[in-house]
Copies of this chain bind each other. A is one copy, B any other.
């Protein structure tokens, strides 16, 4: 990758990173292209060269995030042992809360706000992901590895708890005396969520 290719790649990367931060603070409507441009260190017109509209950019940011989550969830199928699978999945998800804190927030804002963009571009990917995971949990139940729980509600519970540490980072920081929960606490957090889940579902 040289010359123009590299320039294109660098610029889009810079723009998406900046957009992720601004969208995560203000949501789609509240974010301004100027602010995104400033954070990216590029003129506003340049943003519009790579992403014709604000919405195009927003969609790209959301697609990136879902792709990463779907990737995270692959690990769910990595083991036939639900304990290992749950722990691996939660662990990855929590890691990402710390290493890529803005991504999940953009998603959260989009969904909370009613998912206008979501509806058109992301619905089917999410549904597919969800169906697959439910099927896996139900398989474990059939195999007698898990208690007979509602797979969907269990998935929501795991989702909710892991998301919390990313999305509500600000709230947990306030409660933790203004000190961010760092990567050092992540093992503790993971273990806590996993314990709760396992005691709930392992026979």
CB-CB under 8 A for A153 and B192, given A109-B109, A123-B174? yes
Determine if B113 and A171 form an interchain contact, defined as CB atoms under 8 angstroms apart.
no
Complex copy number for this chain: 2
Interface digits, A79-118 against B, CB 8 Å rule (1 contact, 0 not)? Answer: 0000000000000000000000000010011011111001
Determine if A25 and B157 form an interchain contact, defined as CB atoms under 8 angstroms apart.
no
Closest to A155 in B: B175
Complex interface: chain B residues within 8 A of A30 (CB)? 26-30
Complex interface: chain B residues within 8 A of A200 (CB)? 195-196, 199-200
Does A138 interact with chain B (Cβ within 8 Å)? no
- The A contact surface, by secondary structure, is helix
Interface size class of A (residues with CB under 8 A): 35 or more
Does A161 interact with chain B (Cβ within 8 Å)? yes
Complex interface: chain B residues within 8 A of A105 (CB)? 112-113
Tell me the residues in window 18-58 of chain A with beta carbons closer than 8 Å to chain B beta carbons.
Answer: 24-31
Does A164 interact with chain B (Cβ within 8 Å)? yes
Q: Measured between alpha carbons, how far is A174 from B152 in the docked complex, in Å?
A: 13
Complex interface: chain B residues within 8 A of A123 (CB)? 174
Determine if A170 and B27 form an interchain contact, defined as CB atoms under 8 angstroms apart.
no
Determine if B115 and A109 form an interchain contact, defined as CB atoms under 8 angstroms apart.
no
Does A183 interact with chain B (Cβ within 8 Å)? no
Q: Which 3 A-B pairs have the closest CB atoms?
A: A29-B30, A160-B164, A30-B30
